[in-house]
Amino acid sequence: MNDPHYYCVIMAGGLGTRFWPVSRESRPKQFQDFSRSGKSFLKLAYERALEVVPEENILVVSLERFRSLVKRELPELDERNILLEPYNRNTASCIAFATYALLKRDPEAVVLVTPADQVIQDSAQFSSTVLQGLDYAAQNDVLLTLGVLPRRADTNFGYIQTDGPMTDGRPLKVKTFTEKPGKELAQVFIESGEFLWNAGIFIWKASVIAEELDQYAPEITAQWNGWEQYVSTPHEKDYLNRIYADMPRTSIDYAVMEKSQRVMAIPSFFDWNDLGNWNSLYEYFSGKDGNAVKINGDGLIRDNRGTLIFSSRKDRLVAIKGLKNIAVLDTDDVLVICPREENALKGFLAELAIPEFEKYR
């Protein structure tokens, strides 16, 4: 039986702008199916959490405007386990909110914190790693981060440098964090054998992360002054609307993890993908022919190479032949066709973010 003091916080408040035109402001990527499973990112994260903590100990942090989307994806989730921020202020404020809510509920809480938008294939290995981390954090005042053993010199991920061998999954002291290095530096990292991919998955006691937030991110915790009186009360919403107006927008990595002396990494061997943009989705879906194809309707795909084809339409026949290194992104009201190369696609999508096309956001 799962320990009653073990909790999971799923962060599901992102706007998913890098997956436009499929991800929209009204329904961002965490509520959609971008994987091979037929389930949304949020549903997959919830199912993974069920394997390691009691069902009643799973919390989702999202935005107030996504309340109905959370409830639609997870109708079984207890209403008090849905924490809603008025605005997106990145992961530091999100984690602070969840931490204070848990401290009021259970001062002995040990917490797994995970983004919603990841694909993890080996759920058994993931569960084993997380349970090892929860047990370790329950006995030690540390901030654990899960570092995935890198498979290639990927520039889309952050890297964690550790100070010991990674063969047995034992927690290791973290030496440095590096955010998305260039190709040459990423290759150096891989060859050194000292680096892990930063999965953005954390494990700690709620009391310990609260202490570290106080020490290293006073600009965050100052905004939360008086939280004991308001969090998890009928006055919470008004309190959040007031304090979030001036809440700094910063990540937990920058605010705490890169500064704290308590950070350790668990080398993790499960198959992990952080699908953060169209290029990472291409890498995830691409087959032996170099094409990545995901369509919801009927399709006839022939003689393409290095091509990304994504159609969310269920009532459309998609027939494509003879494309090379092209991205085809098809929705009910937007069709984008351009070179698939990461900078070209990113730049073209940025060109489309203009006032004339605001109705398509």
User: According to the model, what pLDDT value does residue 103 have?
Assistant: 98
In the sheet where 335-339 sits, what is the strand order? 292-295, 308-311, 326-330, 335-339
**Lowest mean pLDDT: which of 48-62, 208-222, 233-247, 284-298?**
284-298
Mean pLDDT across the chain: 93
Q: What is the mean pLDDT of residues 50-72?
A: 97
Contacts for 68 with CB less than 8 Å, ≥ 6 apart:
none
Q: Is residue 59 within 8 Å of 100, Cβ to Cβ? A: no
For residues 233-250, give the mean pLDDT: 96
The verdict on whether omega for the bond into residue 339 sits within 30 degrees of 0, i.e. cis, is no
Model confidence at 360, pLDDT cuts 50, 70, 90, reads very high
> In the predicted model, what is the mean pLDDT of residues 30-37?
84
Residue 1: the pLDDT is 52
DSSP code string of 267-331: EE-S-EEE--SHHHHHHHH--TTS-EEEESSEEEEES-BS-EEEE--SS-EEEEES-BSEEEEE-
Structural contact between residues 35 and 48, judged by C-beta atoms closer than 8 angstroms: no
Look at residue 166 and tell me whether its pLDDT is greater than 80: no
For each of the domains in the chain, give its residue range(s) and CATH number, in order of start: 6-274 (3.90.550.10), 278-360 (no CATH)
pTM exceeds 0.85: yes
pLDDT at 199 over 90: yes
Per DSSP (E only), the strands in 142-291 are 143-148, 159-162, 172-178, 195-205, 263-268, 272-274
Distance CA 55, CA 59 (A): 9
Angle of CA points 78, 83, 86, to nearest 5°:
145
**How far, in Å, CA of 227 to CA of 354, rounded?**
39
Mean pLDDT of 55-72: 97
Q: Which segment, 29-43, 152-166, 251-265, 276-290, is predicted with the most confidence on average?
A: 251-265
- Of 67-71, 223-227, 252-256, 282-286, the least confident: 282-286
Selected residue with higher pLDDT from 346 and 143:
143
Q: How confident is the model at residue 10 (pLDDT cuts 50, 70, 90)?
A: very high
